[in-house]
Amino acid sequence: MTAEPNDTWAPDSQMEYTMARAKTPVLDRLVDEVKQAEAGERNLARIHCRAWPKLNVEIENPIAWVRLFGYDPERYFSEPLFNLEQNLRQKLWRFWNLEDDVPITSRVPAWLGYYPEYTFFGMTVGVRDHGGPDIQTDHPMTRKPDLGLLEPVEFRTTGMMPTMLRWYEDLLELADGRLDIDFFVWDRGCLDIAAQLRGYENLMFDTFARPGFVHDLLKLLVRERCAWYTMAAGYLGAEVGPTFVADDWVAVPYISPAQFSEFVIPRYLEIEAHHGAFAGFHSCGDQAPLHADMLRLKTLGTYEVSPWMDLGQALKNLPRDKHLHVAVHPNDVVVDAPEQMARKLRDKAELLRGTDRSFGFGTSGLTPIQGEQEFVARVNQWLDLARRAFD
């Protein structure tokens, strides 16, 4: 996801936003509704549901919500009060409209998009009208492979950090102890940031022409990531704990198994050592050819099986003690006719049935391409057919 930066919104250290610090009747009402739903019978049934597998619908955030609610994404990322209210509206909409097995909670993450850590290395990140990101593509490093172009990450002052700290503290004040507010996370491992800094083609060329530079760049990014988490733990008065990593370029054929083995997995092992555990890993692409190296991460207990990965191959590659999170392509839900939905679901259920392993089943991020009512009907029809396939 790369495009020219959006001139009207750039969440950097100079970003200004507004917040009504006094609680509002709207916020109070939404908090009450979420708390009531959380304690209600419908939610308790989901919490104690014994159905297997548990079904989970993912909504593409914030693109799908912008389409469903029609709000301005710039406002969503610039007004904490509106952001918090909208998060609660989205929770309630999801809970009352979609029939999956995901409980509603009164936990809200402090979140300003998927890529705040890119700003720590001098890149600008913005938002488009439809909610998708704009990430700078012409960092000076695209023209010169020089680590001297990168400054150390200062927890309180670098990139978006001043905005992130104020945003988190404002959400805490607005929540007033009635909601759990989670602090920001640094999701990217190292490869995605490196590819954005250098440009994908440049970075792939570097692995052949200047491998030492690539090793040093990835080491630097991981070192800064680990240091950031240590400083975040200190700020929160907590301990460094397990971490989740997302690197979308960790996908064949965009990276080869040999490149992953030489350049990336050693850095992931450093992340694992720092955090004590790998809580999970995400890439939108095909990770199956990389499983042999990923299994060196001894604490990674859950493996994503994305729509771009062969489920049968993943079942062969991964030991039975590894939990699988199997996700289907969005088109399987928002485009396919019912008979196509049912056939694909039966095929996957047949592969998974009798595997004697733990797994969850759901969708990748969905965005409505029809009206709201048809979107809801399609999602719930898919959920019904999934339950029948696995019954």
Token pair listed for 46? 């989901």
Q: Counting beta carbons within 10 angstroms of the beta carbon of residue 10, is it exposed (0 to 12), middle (13 to 18) or buried (19 or more)?
A: middle
* CB atoms closer than 10 angstroms to residue 107: 12
> What is the model's pLDDT at position 18?
53
**Inter-CA distances, 129 with 59, 152, 158, 164, 366, Å:** 18, 32, 26, 22, 18
pLDDT (tens place) for every residue of the chain, 391 residues total: 333 333 333 344 334 555 545 568 999 999 999 999 999 999 999 999 888 899 999 999 999 999 999 999 999 999 999 999 999 999 999 999 999 999 999 999 999 999 999 999 999 999 999 999 999 999 999 999 999 999 999 999 999 999 999 999 999 999 999 999 999 999 999 999 999 999 999 999 999 999 999 999 999 999 999 999 999 999 999 999 999 999 999 999 999 999 999 999 999 999 999 999 999 999 989 999 999 999 999 999 999 999 999 999 999 999 999 999 999 999 999 999 999 999 999 999 999 987 888 999 999 999 999 899 999 999 999 999 999 999 8
What b/e string do you get for 328-355 counting C-beta neighbours within 10 Å, with b at 16 or more?
A: bebebbbebeeeebbebbbebbeebeee
Per-residue pLDDT at 1: 31
369 closest CA partner among 128, 68, 96: 68
- State residue 6's pLDDT score: 33
| pTM listed for this prediction | 0.92
Q: Are 356 and 391 in contact (CB under 8 A)?
A: no
Q: Are 323 and 299 in contact (CB under 8 A)?
A: no
Residue 240 Cα to chain centre, angstroms? 20
Annotate 144-169 with DSSP letters as a single string: ---GGG-PPPPTTTSTTHHHHHHHHH
Collect contacts of 253-258 with beta carbons under 8 A, ≥24 apart. Answer: 254/200, 254/285, 255/191, 255/204, 257/289, 257/290, 257/292, 257/293
pLDDT at 19: 52
